[in-house]
């Protein structure tokens, strides 16, 4: 008799409307052209409006050594997206703060011949002045930069950043920046 597979590490497969259509192992979701699955990105700002960026660990299968948003990952089977975002923010950065949904988008990005990200991604923003502690299996380096610095770095050296972060940043700057500035100015940082 086969053992019952664990729901831990099973990601949520979705259609283009973010409706659950099944489950699959994390590795399988990222092989070849990838399988569309639910994911999230967290962007943590401090009270001065600077964004916490992470440099992805060299241990990562996809985009190792690239700069990206503060935290990104996936909810597991039967896990709510916000709970997953809060869990991973604590696991990867040692931080706990309220997270606010901003928008959702679907994207596809291939990394060399290694695999791909095909995700329906929920973007969350939080505000904290607490110091992050990077999990070395996930993150090799952290830094905080102001919005204009990020704009310039992405323009001048786009190859240093993950594709999803560049997409998110452009959308945030063009469509949601007022909402983010309001969150930063009205939230008491954790």
> What is the secondary structure of 166-190 as a DSSP string?
HHHHHHIIIIIHHHHHHHHHHSPP-
Output the six-digit token pair for 43.
Answer: 């962007």
In a domain, 2, yes or no: no
Residues of the chain under the 70 pLDDT cut? 1-8, 188-190
How many Å apart are CA 153 and CA 25, to the nearest integer?
Answer: 35
Output the six-digit token pair for 31.
Answer: 């092989």
Q: What is the DSSP letter of 160?
A: G
Alpha helices in 8-95 (DSSP H): 26-30, 81-93
Per-residue confidence (pLDDT) for residue 180, from 0 to 100: 96
Domains of the chain: total: 1
Instruction: Specify whether 104 is catalytic.
Output: no
Which residue in 119, 121, 138, 168 is the catalytic one?
119
For residue 155, what is the enclosing H or E element? helix 147-156
In a domain, 115, yes or no: yes
Q: What is the three-class DSSP state of 27?
A: helix
Which residue in 72, 117, 138, 168 is the catalytic one?
72
**CATH number of the domain to which 26 belongs:** 3.90.79.10
Instruction: Specify whether 72 is catalytic.
Output: yes
In a domain, 4, yes or no: no
Q: What is the DSSP letter of 61?
A: S
Domain that holds residue 36: 10-186
The pairing of beta strand 67-68 with beta strand 51-56: antiparallel
How many Å apart are CA 21 and CA 77, to the nearest integer?
Answer: 11
In a domain, 36, yes or no: yes
Per-residue confidence (pLDDT) for residue 9, from 0 to 100: 77
In a domain, 63, yes or no: yes
Q: Model's pTM, two decimal places?
A: 0.92
In a domain, 5, yes or no: no
């Amino acid at each position: 008799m086969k053992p019952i597979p664990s729901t831990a590490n099973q990601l949520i497969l979705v259609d283009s409307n973010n409706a659950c259509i099944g489950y699959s192992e994390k590795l399988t979701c990222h092989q070849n052209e990838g399988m569309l699955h639910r994911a999230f990105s967290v962007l943590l700002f401090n009270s001065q409006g600077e964004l916490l960026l992470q440099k992805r660990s060299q241990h990562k299968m996809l985009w190792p050594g690239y700069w990206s948003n503060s935290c990104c990952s996936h909810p597991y089977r039967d896990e709510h997206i916000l709970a997953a975002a809060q869990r991973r923010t604590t696991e990867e950065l040692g931080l706990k703060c309220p997270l606010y949904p901003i928008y959702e988008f679907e994207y596809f990005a291939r990394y060399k011949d290694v695999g791909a990200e095909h995700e329906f991604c929920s973007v969350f923003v939080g505000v904290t002045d607490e110091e992050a502690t990077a999990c070395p299996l996930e993150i090799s380096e952290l830094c905080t930069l102001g919005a204009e610095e990020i704009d310039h770095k992405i323009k001048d050296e786009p190859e240093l950043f993950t594709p999803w972060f560049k997409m998110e940043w452009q959308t945030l700057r063009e469509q949601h920046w007022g909402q983010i500035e309001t969150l930063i100015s009205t939230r008491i940082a954790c």
